[in-house]
Amino acid sequence: MSEPIPAPSLTLHPIGYVRSGKQVKFQTLHQPAESTEERNLIELLPDQDYEHALRDLAGFSRIWLVWWFHKNPNWRPLVLPPRGPAQRRGLFATRSPHRPNPIGLTPVKLLGVEKRVLIIGPCDLMEGTPVFDIKPYIPAYDSFPDSAAGWTDEVDDGFDGPPSFTVRLTPLALAHADWLRTNWKVDFTARLLELLSRDPTVHRGRRIRRRNESQFVIGCGAWRAVFRVETEVVEIDSLEAAYPLRFLGDAEREGIPDRNAQLAFIARWKQEKGVTDSPTVRGVKPGPTTRRVRPQ
Ligand SMILES: C[S@@+](CC[C@H](N)C(=O)[O-])C[C@H]1O[C@@H](n2cnc3c(N)ncnc32)[C@H](O)[C@@H]1O
């Protein structure tokens, strides 16, 4: 083998930033879902003549975004993809964010161009993600629908079709979800139901762990859901604030998502030290489940 040529280090400058409002990873999809109705923005930087660079782009219904996983400090050669069985895969055979050069690549619907702002459809980028480049998506060059997709083909065979589990919320969990939605406009139940209806088994990548003999916990960004599984039914017992009070009350700690909502939740629902262990809360009796959900 010939001697490798030492690679120069490169300096890249963002051309703009994503405004998706998604403050935590849990809120962002693993890949953009075509079926969801979403409007996100990419704001390009001023004084760079990017307005001219955007000329002629509006005629394309899709664009590629080349971007930086700026919230990922490290990379790993083997990763645990969130879909499918808990099996590690070689990083380069996945779309994991944990890459030596954390570059993301996402095709998104282009809904409009207004001066230096692009209006785009569903995306898998968090709020504030730096964008390095934009290219038109050209089906003749970029689409090869018959290509083999390695291990994802096997996993998707089991994933396509109807969800495997029915998910229900207890009255307490319903009360938590309604209170969060009404008072804080926090609503992560659709994503929670989607994930649990597919596979509620313990999995680090899906942030599911066992809490005790009968209960499991799934991390949902700033929140958690406690649930049980019996054959093909998942019952969500309660929702919880994910951060402990000592973090929430520490003004030095920056960037805690939904901080005030978490503090108010703990006060309202008497959540002790960031954990609701008892499902019995004044005014809400644990009892038969009231809502059965089968996500589309
Ligand atoms: C599985 S990756 C796929 C990204 C891109 N479509 C790709 O294939 O390169 C998408 C996930 O990256 C994470 N993510 C999004 N924006 C990020 C950011 N700025 N920094 C770190 N992680 C981010 C979110 O958890 C999201 O669900």
Residue 71 near ligand 1, beta carbon < 6 Å: yes
- pLDDT for position 2: 76
More confident residue, 44 or 252: 44
Length of the chain: 296
pLDDT digits (tens, 9 = 90+) for 124-175: 999 999 999 999 999 999 999 889 999 988 877 655 667 789 999 999 999 9
Higher pLDDT, 210 or 160: 210
Lowest mean pLDDT among 13-27, 30-44, 135-149: 30-44
Contacts of 73 (CB under 8 A, 6+ apart): none
* Res 235 pLDDT > 90: yes
Distance 4 CA to ligand 1 centre (A): 31
**Cα distance between residue 17 and residue 126, in whole Å:** 10
**CA separation for the pair 41, 22 (Å, rounded):** 12
Which numbered atom of ligand 1 lies nearest the CA of 130? 19
More confident residue, 236 or 22: 236
Position 274 pLDDT exceeds 50: no
Residue nearest to atom 13 of ligand 1 (CA): 25
**Rounded distance between C-alpha atoms, residue 122 and residue 236, angstroms:** 28
Q: How far is the CA of 248 from the centre of ligand 1 (A)?
A: 26
pLDDT band at 199 (very low <50, low <70, confident <90, very high): confident
Distance, CA of 192 to CA of 209 (rounded, Å): 15
Print burial letters for 25-35: b (CB count within 10 Å at least 16), e (below 16): bbbbeeebeee
From start to end of the chain, where are the E strands?
A: 16-19, 40-44, 62-68, 78-79, 89-90, 103-114, 117-120, 130-136, 166-169, 208-210, 216-220, 223-230, 233-241, 291-293
Could you tell me if the CB of 40 is within 6 A of ligand 1? Answer: no
pTM equals: 0.75
Kindly state the average pLDDT of the residues 226-251.
Answer: 94
Measured in Å, residue 100 CA sits from the centre of ligand 1 at 14
104 vs 164, higher pLDDT? 104
| Alpha carbon of 250 to ligand 1 centroid (Å) | 28
DSSP character at residue 184: H
Q: What is the mean pLDDT of the chain?
A: 87
Residue whose Cα lies nearest atom 23 of ligand 1: it is 69
Q: Dig out the tokens for 100 from the structure.
A: 């030596």
The closest residue, in CA terms, to atom 15 on ligand 1 is 125
Predicted pLDDT at 50: 97
105 lines ligand 1 (CB under 6 A): yes
Q: Rounded distance, CA 40 to CA 125, Å?
A: 10
The whole-number average pLDDT for the span 47-63 is 97
Name the pLDDT band for 280 (thresholds 50, 70, 90). very low
Domains present along the chain, CATH in parentheses: 16-157 (2.40.30.70), 166-293 (3.30.2310.20)
pLDDT the model gives residue 284: 37
pLDDT at residue 205 greater than cutoff 60: yes
Q: Among 22, 25, 188, 194, which residue has the most ligand 1 atoms within 8 Å of its CB, making it the best to mutate?
A: 25
Cβ of 170 below 6 Å from ligand 1: no
pLDDT tens-digit readout, 170-187 = 999 999 999 999 999 999
Give the range among 38-47, 115-124, 144-153 with minimum mean pLDDT: 144-153
Give the distance (Å) from ligand 1 centre to CA of residue 121: 16
281 pLDDT more than 90: no
Cβ-proximal residues to 129 (8 Å cutoff; 6+ apart), any chain:
17, 18, 20, 67, 68, 69, 70, 104
pLDDT for the residue numbered 1: 67
Pocket test for ligand 1, best of 24, 124, 152, 191 (most atoms within 8 A of CB): 124
